[in-house]
Amino acid sequence: MHWLGGRRRIEVPCTVEIEQTAESLHAHVTLDGGLLIAPGDEVTVHDAPTSVPYGDRIVVRRTATVVRAGAVERLWTRIAGHFELTELYEVSFSERTRL
């Protein structure tokens, strides 16, 4: 019954890449084993670096905990996501006589 409402924890190794250069500013986490993350799932990377000096790029191996959402939580996350997205839309009707 854990698939319906329960949450399952999975420990998985991962690779953390952080770069802060003139060409790129990014942070990526790649989970080992092709583990896919679905709506409602939570991922916590343990002991991950939070910054890198300008001009540097680091790649480190860490462990992540994935907490799988149950079916009800996954459905709720999808529904709430659609409503959250509509908040990003802003429509304005105003009279413009000049540009």
In tens, the pLDDT along 35-65 reads: 899 989 999 999 999 889 999 999 999 999 9
- pLDDT level of residue 1 (50, 70, 90 thresholds): very low
| Structure-derived torsion over alpha carbons of residues 89, 92, 93, 95, reported in degrees to the nearest 10 | -150
Does the pTM surpass 0.75? The reply is no
Supply 85's token pair: 């997205």
